[in-house]
Structure 1
Amino acid sequence: MNSNSIAEAAKPYTDYDMIRNHTELPDFPNFRTQLLYTFLHKSSTFIEQSELFALVVSLAQLGLDTHDLVSVTNERKEKAEARSRQLKVLAGDYFSSRFYHLLAQAGQVEMTRQMATAICEVNRLKMNLYTRMRQWKMTADDYMQYSVSIKTQLYLSFSRALEGMKPNSWDDMLNGYTRCEVLLDELRRIERDRDFRSGWAFWHLLQIGTKEERRQLQNEDTDPGKLRALLHKYNVKATLFQMLESQFKTLSDKIRQFDSEKLVAELYQIGEPFLRAISAPRALEEV
């Protein structure tokens, strides 16, 4: 099995018509999962568990990401909306239960403990993030750091297991790829009016905008056209592309420091969607 096959291995646990037909699911955490599999497969100690560990961490991440899609309020009473909300809760719980079950079957007690600890840390970080957002105490840099930390916690459970490789290589690669992933997600987000307010661009504009523009941003009833005009005025998309290009260059410099040509090639293959987005911005939706 190669790193691209982990998503296929997860399908028996995620592809259910009841879920797919009545609610949306988050994207599979491909970048981080492929990266984890690649590093575990290079470790003589964990090569036999590389597929299992990559699978279980992806299911645990899917569980957390699915719960994030549950609306905060239950104001919409339509039958379809209520069913969608309920299925997100149940699907998130189910994905999480599969991760526990698979590790228990394999007798991986210590890894179960580490993953459970990481999940607690993810929830703590999310609570801090939401609290700062509600109190308007968030900056764009804060948002980026929280986003990366939240996405990497489960995968950092393997830092000790991979510490025998090049010093700090796992943590550095995980952080670098995840920053690129967040930036790519934020570029897509600004094209969608419905979740613009929960992203990097919103907090960036809130920092650099005029007093009147900040007032507009804080008003939830502001016309989407005005918000889009602010994005254009401050060249937010161009700024995000520049950030992605800079981050990928930093990541590339670190990748080239590995001695194994095969590992370098595999790491570049994982990061190819980032390079494709930088090279052809118009093809962003295809990445």
Structure 2
Amino acid sequence: MILRDSVYRDELESMLKEVEQRAYHPYVQRYVRYPDINLFQLHFLFLFLHQTGISSALRRHYCISQMLIQLGLDSHDNVDNQKVSSDDSLKQRQLTILSGDHFSGHYYHYLAEHGEVELIHKWAGVVKTINEDKTRLYMEHDLLSQEDVLCLKRQIKRRIPESVLNWFDAPDLWYAILERFVCLSTHVEEGFPPDETFESNVERLKELIDRLGDRTLEGELTLWLDKIEQAYLVIEP
């Protein structure tokens, strides 16, 4: 796991452990495969929030709540529309839906527990927007061009981190870095073959990271760029 190579390893792993303790249920895990935590999103937001200088406690609240929200959204994405053929399949579908609601409920409870009422309302607006984007992707998928579908998928992937950048009036550089990372990761996830666009995005991202002017940030973000490039190398042309 990349986070083990981070200089902030202890703090990041502490947050991951709290999410697991709060939200993972052994009974549900017997029937449902929980989605993976979006580690890049966690790391990216942690680095940005660390750079803003906010307290470690508040940084933790943002990072943990976004993990629970993303897990809830990803759990609901795992629900298929195929006809259920057995009791076990029905149970699996029901538990998958409930696990998504379960994660979402934990984000609300976690923030309420820490008195972060305003952040609850902010995240609720983000979740609503993401669900609207996903509904459009599902309903209009066959009517959209391939490029429009990709743009919408990238937009969905950026919603949570972009929202945090917006709330803190982040410099344009952070948005540019996020956009390049999302473009590169989508390229790999969609299984697109090697091309010049990928290579140019890699070079542009390296330039953007260097413009941060911070050796620690550069090293942390380069961990993910290296991972993406390695994944890209195994894609068959």
Residues 60 and 130 of structure 1: CA distance in aligned 2, closer, same or farther (over 3 Å)? same
Tell me, in whole angstroms, the C-alpha distance in 2 between the residues paired with 1:114 and 1:96. Answer: 14
Matches within 5 A, 1:141-220: 141-163=147-169, 167-187=171-191
Structure 2 residue 225 is matched with structure 1 residue 271: yes
Q: 1:145 to 1:32 in 2, by over 3 A?
A: same
Q: Is there any run of 5+ residues in structure 2 with no aligned partner, and where?
A: 1-9
In the alignment, residue 237 of structure 1 is paired with which amino acid? P
Superposition deviation, residue 117 in structure 1: 0.4
| Number of aligned residue pairs | 227
- The change in CA–CA distance for 1:243 and 1:12 in structure 2 (over 3 A counts) is farther
1:62 is matched by which residue type in structure 2?
L
Alpha-carbon contact 2:133-2:156 (below 8 Å) kept: yes
Q: Is the 8 A contact 2:194 2:235 kept in 1?
A: no
Q: Could you say which residue in structure 2 is the equivalent of 1:93? A: 101
Q: Distance in 2 between matches of 1:139 and 1:243?
A: 19
- The sequence identity of aligned pairs, in percent, is 23
| Greater radius of gyration (CA) | 1
Instruction: Give the aligned residue type for 2:48.
Output: F
Please tell me whether the aligned partners of residues 31 and 270 of structure 1 are also in contact (alpha carbons under 8 angstroms).
yes
Query: 9-18 or 64-73: which moved more?
Result: 9-18
Equivalent-residue separation in structure 1 for 2:164 and 2:118 (angstroms): 11
- The amino acid of 2:95's aligned partner reads L
1:252 aligns with 2:206: yes
Match of 2:137 in 1: 129
Q: Which amino acid aligns with 2:147?
A: D
Give the deviation of 1:21 after TM superposition. Answer: 1.7
Partners of 2:15 and 2:188 in 1: CA distance: 21
C-alpha contact 1:3 1:38 (8 A) present in aligned 2: no
Question: What is the root-mean-square deviation in Å for CA atoms of aligned residues?
Answer: 2.2
Which of the numbers 99, 109, 119 marks the counterpart of 2:127? 119
Aligned equivalent of 1:198: none
1:125-157 Cα distance to aligned partner (Å, 9 max, x none): 111111211xx2222211111111112212222
Segments ≥4 residues shifted beyond 4 Å: none
Q: Distance in 2 between matches of 1:49 and 1:169?
A: 23
Q: Please tell me whether the aligned partners of residues 23 and 102 of structure 2 are also in contact (alpha carbons under 8 angstroms).
A: no
Q: How far, CA to CA, are the matches of 1:247 and 1:266 in structure 2?
A: 18
- Aligned partners of 2:101, 2:125: CA distance in 1, in Å? 17
Give the Å deviation of 1:272: 2.8
8 A Cα contact 1:62 1:92, kept in partner: yes
Q: Is the 8 A contact 1:248 1:274 kept in 2?
A: no
**Post-superposition offset of 1:7:** 3.0
2:98 aligned partner, one-letter code: L
2:3 maps to: none
Which letter maps to 2:154?
V
1:4/1:143 Cα in 2 relative to 1: closer, same or farther (>3 Å)? farther
TM-score by length of 1: 0.72
- The correspondence for 1:140, drawn from 136, 141, 146, is 146
Q: In 2, distance between residues paired with 1:246 and 1:85? A: 42
Q: Give the 5 Å matches for 1:9-158.
A: 9-73=18-82, 75-133=83-141, 136-158=142-164
- Distance in 2 separating the partners of 1:282 and 1:125: 29
Alpha-carbon spacing, 1:169–1:28, altered in 2? closer, same or farther (3 Å)? same
CA distance in 1, matches of 2:12, 2:180: 18
One-letter identity of the residue aligned with 1:144: L
Deviation at 1:37, TM superposition (A): 0.8
